[in-house]
Amino acid sequence: MKAALRFFPPLIRESLLSTDAFRAKLGFETNVILSFVGSDISIRRSEFYDAIRRVSENNKLEIELTSTSGQKCIVKGEQFSGESLPILISEGRTILTVSSWSLSPDAAYRLKKFDEHVCSRNLHGPRIQELRAKLADGALADEDADRLNSELAENATDVEQFIANSLRSGSSEMPVLVPHSLAYYERLVGAPGDCADLMSFLAETCGEHLGQLLAWDFQRGLAQCLLSSPHSSISSKIKVGDQSSCAVRKFYAWLVDDGDRFSQVAGLEVGLAILHRFPEIADFLLGIATQIRDDDPADPGGRLSLTASLTILVDGELARSEILRSKPPFWRRLAAIAQASLIEREVLKLENVQYAEFCQTAMRSRGQEFYLQAMTDLRVEPRWLPDFMNPDQLKAEFAGRILATSTRVKENIVGEQLRRVLVEEGSDSIHAQVVFPFAYLPGPLEGGTVSPVKMPADLADVLRQQLEGRELTASSFTGIINSAMIFPIDAEHTQAATDALRKMKYNLDLDDEVASPSAFLAGLAGVAAVTRSSDLATDVRILLRVLSRRDGVCVDIQDKMRIALIASAANADLPAWCQSVGDWLTEIAYGDVDAGDARKLLLTLDALCGMVPYLWRSCAKARAALASVGGRLNLQGSGEIGA
């Protein structure tokens, strides 16, 4: 068995070897080597921890250790704020100051330091009590101490510091930027529990999490609350309470200068609601509103590009690591946005950073994973597309949120400058940037919600007339396409669209009002998805087939796959969705596909099947056809498209 381990994939091998029972059964002994950031020193863990224990018992000791490369090191005690802590010294330079309480033989000291640690980091709950009980039982073995320290580090305070250190060192390792820990994200944004959708999360879990953060520490707690508020319904639950004017002013002074964009929008919503109580924060709110108003979505190195790119990076890594695979899409996106915003805060502190290059790197790194995960999410939450995570849409969404809040509490906004930016309709106002339909499209947490905005009766009549007219063209469908993400579409309108396509036998005229065949087909597929109309989805597939055979009409193969995934979301049931995706892609693969396109699509399809393994069976024919045309078959079922 020991010899066979070398043939296991690295991740599986590492997982097995990290399990105590597995190692004990095979008689493995661990000899972990510790390395220290900022030095080339590496020391055996057993020797280092033993030295720490001895120095903790007798701070007058100086214990000499030898690194794996033969360098001499010293572990000794040194006074810090009236407390003796072990330090590691090499060649007269302090390499590390060790917080050694978890290794201390003194039970009272261990528990005292544990309680201080968890309180300072807002750690609580049954798991923390289990760890405390284990610590009370006796001094920890090396591995248990490492495991304890690792679990206790799964909090926003420590992760923020890890990210800062990583960015300053230039390493930016992915597991540091995006921790692979469910417990961490539950502490960051609140555990979803059994909530399957945003509305139940808001009703059952969200408020308690926000309240606990504010009760813990107003400044740090409110900063974390805003990380968790990419939706107005969440920020509306943040209750400042009876905080002092000084405390509120201090927070908003930080937010206007150092806050990430999502937090600034949420902070503006919170601030406007309490402005009548704290008028002294008006200038800070004006500063935030002005920054957001002046953001240029066309700037590849601008703040909106940074926010979008970091969100794509984090959500893509969460998709790749699969640690939140069992959680609903809205909650994973909530966690992704919060973590991306935390990274953004640290990026803003760096000097001489080229944001454009940073954004490009983030997109190249996890863009495909983000995109495919969002496309598979459509089966569960069909109203939010990955295309919406872009600077232009963020600009529109932020403007829409700010205008809605400003309108609701406009009596609080009394300052002339603040009213000009937030309430009035001049060219330098937020109102001027609210453009239909973009400001009214669903946000990243709203993919599974039903739009609360009822379609006006006159608009419903217009849509019906367009679809029931004598002369039907592609523009006859633009009304229902543009309305599908904004208003609830009833079965009558969906059936009218289906009847119209069948009436004209799919011989649709693509008039000048249609931007492109791909965009039109994707829009119509979106109508099928949000209305869960499998009939309309089938008609879109037939329409794509007809248009693809028409001279002068070109639909790129990647666009065909995109249309297929959107239309397949008409099926909420997983087996039906898999079958639909398989049928669509098999037809595409057996169509007119050149070798280059076949290879690209095969790579994308393999990545998609890796995310949803049930697709391997339904997409087997498509893979075989693409491999035949492309000249190869990836038997391992993995791959990706480079940027």
The residue-averaged pLDDT of 442-468 equals: 94
Do β-strands 72-80 and 83-90 pair in parallel, antiparallel, or remain unpaired?
antiparallel
For residue 352 the two structure tokens come to 């001489």
- Is pLDDT of 381 > 80? yes
- Is pLDDT of 635 > 80? no
What is the pTM (predicted TM-score) of this model?
0.91
- The SS3 assignment for 416 reads helix
Give me the helix-helix angle, 261-273 and 282-294, nearest 10°.
140
The residue-averaged pLDDT of 425-444 equals: 94
Residues 122-171 have pLDDT tens digits of 999 999 999 999 999 988 888 899 899 999 999 999 999 999 988 988 87
Q: Residue 10: pLDDT band by 50, 70, 90 thresholds?
A: low
For residue 490 the two structure tokens come to 């009833």
**Measured distance CA(313)–CA(14) in Å, rounded:** 25
Average pLDDT of the chain is: 91
What pLDDT is attached to residue 212?
96
Residues 519-567 have pLDDT tens digits of 999 999 999 999 999 999 999 999 999 999 888 888 999 999 999 999 9
Q: Residue 632: pLDDT band by 50, 70, 90 thresholds?
A: low
Dihedral (Cα; 429, 433, 436, 440), 10-degree rounding:
-90
Cα separations in angstroms, 503 against 64, 363, 490: 88, 43, 20
List all residues 6 or more positions away from 476 whose beta carbon is below 8 Å from its beta carbon: 466, 467, 469, 500
Helix spans in 353-390 (H): 355-377
CB distance 404 to 271 below 8 Å: no
The residue with greater pLDDT, 569 or 85, is 569
Residues 402-422 have pLDDT tens digits of 999 999 999 999 999 999 999
- Is pLDDT of 13 > 70? no
For residue 563 the two structure tokens come to 């249309």
What pLDDT is attached to residue 102?
87
For residue 473 the two structure tokens come to 């063209």
- Is pLDDT of 322 > 50? yes
- Is pLDDT of 390 > 60? yes
* Residue 33 backbone dihedrals phi, psi, to 5 degrees: -105, 125
Cα separations in angstroms, 223 against 188, 206, 228: 11, 15, 9
